[in-house]
Amino acid sequence: MSLFGLGSRNQKTFRPKKSAPTGSKGAQLQKHIDATLGSGNLREAVKLPPGEDINEWLAVNTVDFFNQVNIMFGTLTEFCTPSNCPTMTAGPKYEYRWADGVTIKKPIEVSAPKYVEYLMDWIESQLDDETIFPQRLGAPFPPNFRDVVKTIFKRLFRVYAHIYHSHFQKIVSLKEEAHLNTCFKHFVLFTWEFRLIEKAELAPLEDLVDSIIQL
């Protein structure tokens, strides 16, 4: 059984896969991502294509990374349960509490699967908000767009940190660590290229992140 294989009967996602913004150059840029990823050169794949708008590039990649993490975590729901993971942690030193600033203003302690559920719902609401991620061609991005993107990536990193610290042995036993490592490498190189996550936030996987950046 392949943990991440599309044919796996265990394949689960929390929600349908999101599509790239349609009214923008989303589909075009998505093709560029697919083509450059196919080359195997992740450092080149993350770079802004010549002549393209930085916000368009951030938008289409945000959808792409959301889909990747959503699918990956969806395959772990059998193992990441409230009883196995009663808090959202990344090793013994890091615990994440949930707040979205709207419905939950004060950070609350929740299980790891509940945290990820809250997170995916919150990200999806941002992606579906056309004042943040415009769908119409030529519609402007908001002034705080990069700040929203940074928050999304910071929180997606926490899912990777939890997977590596709490579920990596399960992934190794299923011989799927190469897939996880490639997805995470792509994620790190993209966030590093555009300075989307503060160094301190990367501390739970600092050695792994440093090894990716310095390769």
Give me the residue spans of the domains in the chain: 54-213
Burial of residue 112 (number of CB atoms within 10 Å: 0-12, 13-18, 19+):
buried
Other residues' Cβ atoms within 10 Å of the Cβ of residue 168: 13
- Cβ–Cβ under 8 Å, residues 152 and 197: no
pLDDT at residue number 200: 95
Dihedral (CA of 19, 104, 141, 146) sign: negative
Query: Per-residue pLDDT averaged across 142-161, rounded?
Result: 97
151 CA to centre of own chain: 11
Among the four given CATH numbers 1.20.140.30, 3.20.20.70, 3.30.70.3170, 3.30.1490.20, the one describing domain 54-213 = 1.20.140.30
Please state the φ and ψ torsions of residue 14, each to the nearest 5 degrees: -70, -25
Q: What is the pLDDT of residues 58-115, one digit of tens each?
A: 999 999 999 999 988 988 889 999 999 999 999 999 999 999 988 999 999 999 999 9
Query: Per-residue pLDDT averaged across 7-11, rounded?
Result: 34
pLDDT at residue number 26: 57
Residue keyed to tokens 């009967």: 9
pTM of the full predicted structure? 0.85
Closest CA to 36 of 22, 56, 50, 21: 50
pLDDT at residue 127 greater than cutoff 70? yes
